[in-house]
Amino acid sequence: MGLVVLVLEAGAGSGFAHAQTAASSGVRLDRGRFTVVAERQDERLARSLLAAAVRRDTFPGLARPRQRVLIAIAPNADRLRAWVGPQAPEWGAAFAFPDQGKIVMQGSRASSDAGDPLVVLRHELAHLALHEQMGALPPRWFDEGYASVAAKEWTREQAFETWLGMVWRTLPTLDQLWSYAMAHRVVSELETLGGPAGLTNLLAYWKATGSFEKAVRQAYGMTGEGFETHWRAQTRARYGALSFVTNVSAAAGLFGLLLVPLFVIRRRRDRRQLDAMRAADARQEEAERQSALQAMLEGAGAQDAHTAVTAASRGPG
């Protein structure tokens, strides 16, 4: 299996039960509540990840986590899939197992699409921290939005995704969120509404009541529907101008896509008509030249015949 050995054991809902290193050549680093295992080629990355995890071990609105965490660094994509199991999507760069306190992520040989490993680890640790305190209460959109906010993942790509979503779709309700960018925007707005307390009150009320609706009422003094109206208005206010410009640009582009082919077709048709007219004119000119030549030949023949008749009537000498 390699220098770092993941011992896979059958278990309900578990991709693996525990990890251990081959003492001869793998590395195992322990500090605080974290253990990082990796092959020698990823030792430098493992030390950086461990230092970052220890340095930033608090998460928005949550008590400091206490769960022990194992971070396994896969040397390549194939090993990552083997460790995680067949349920791992092809595009995944890291996977968290909250019930087991484990994270599996790609190592230093990962492609650029895998993202910044420090940000990726922070995102996955946020999943574990949220689950430790809130259990299964948060729906998927909140889980992903929270991890994105905790990792400070708002990027130009996510902003563009939000703009693009506003161009081609109406803003969704919370139950209809269809992108990580939108989920980030919702959780970010919840954090902003909380003022200095951020998400602390919302998460505390949510855990106490077991209801997101009741938590929003108690934390912000508004209904869940009222919050949806609020965040959609805020998103439109922040990105609406660009969305309008993009809409106009998109409309102009669509207009061009429709008209340019028609213009080209008409130009080609006009060119064909012009060429046909020129050919017809040339044929007509040629016919006229042939007609004039024939008339001249016929005129010359008649003149010669007249001269011959006249000479014959006069007789010799």
Looking at residue 21, its pLDDT comes to 41
Q: 206 vs 61, 82, 125, 209, 293, CA distance in Å? A: 12, 37, 21, 5, 105
Phi, psi of 312 (to 5 degrees): -70, -35
Looking at residue 119, its pLDDT comes to 93
Token pair for residue 50?
A: 């461990």
Query: pLDDT by residue (tens digit) across 96-142?
Result: 999 999 999 988 887 777 788 999 999 999 999 999 999 999 999 99
Phi, psi of 88 (to 5 degrees): -75, 125
Sign of CA dihedral 169, 171, 174, 175: negative
Looking at residue 177, its pLDDT comes to 58
106 bridge partner residues? 74
Query: pLDDT by residue (tens digit) across 189-231?
Result: 999 999 999 999 999 999 999 999 999 999 999 998 999 888 8
What average pLDDT does the structure give for the chain? 75
Q: How far apart, in whole angstroms, are the C-alpha atoms of residue 105 and residue 73?
A: 5
Q: 314 vs 225, 306, 309, 311, CA distance in Å? A: 125, 13, 9, 5
**Higher-pLDDT residue of 55, 233:** 55
Least confident stretch, 58-72, 177-191, 213-227, 228-242: 228-242
- Domains of the chain, each with CATH number or no CATH: 1-136 (3.40.30), 137-256 (no CATH)
Residue 270 has pLDDT above 50, yes or no: no
Q: 175 vs 165, 171, 183, 224, CA distance in Å? A: 16, 11, 10, 11
Q: 128 vs 71, 100, 124, 169, CA distance in Å? A: 12, 9, 7, 32
